[in-house]
Homo-oligomer: A and B are copies of this chain.
Amino acid sequence: MPSYKLYYFEGRGLCEASRQLFALAEVPFEDVRLTGEKVAELKPTLPYGQMPVLEVDGVQIPQSVAIARFLAKKFGFAGKTEVEQAIVDGICDQWKDFFVEIKPFYYGKVEMCPPGWEDIEKAKTEVLIPARDKFFGFLKNLLNKNKIGFLVECGVTYADLFITDNMTSLFGWFSEYFEGHPEIEAYYKRVQDIPQLKAWLAKRPNTRS
């Protein structure tokens, strides 16, 4: 078995999906969570000067989605066929587009507010809610296509993990996040109820985002 070391900040952020893949697959890994000086020390040694970075037997893999896809392929959470893998990749890219779109709200909440968006209520109404409604529409279409309750037919994938972990943050900041979308709330809970994931959620460090 390779040795895995996953470097990130304290929080969940763009690293949590990969941590959850280790939990789902019940594969041990070193969950390195850095703060302050330690981050500054490590930064110049990282491929793009940023985290997350996964070290596999000493080789560094950067970029959150690339890391998660690598682990998902190894552990069986990336889609079964070539076409299914492409569909999963596309779902995750669509989620990333959504994540870029909601920056005025999301980064406002983590104290990295983009200029012009100091009014968080305005960011919620003008950016988050319309983006959510559009994105939830896509998720509903995907869920309606199969009867298994996840986004693609083969079962839970790394795309479900990015999406539902992001929902945890947004729901934590905006308690009506699922209002009017009961099937999405049910999907969110369904993912978190997977026994291996439930066990991880119960024991992981508790962070806001």
Contacts and interface: CB of A to CB of B under 8 A. Distances in A.
Interface of A: 47-48, 56, 59, 61-67, 69-70, 73-74, 82-83, 85-87, 89-90, 93-94, 96, 100, 116, 138, 141
Interface of A is mostly: helix
A120 B183 CA distance: 44
Given A48-B94, A138-B47, A86 B66 contact: yes
Contacts of A86: 61, 66-67, 69-70
Contact of A83 (B56, B83, B94): B56
Contacts of A73: 82
Contacts of A47: 90, 138, 141
B116 A90 contact: no
A138 to B, nearest CB: 6
A65 B74 CA distance: 21
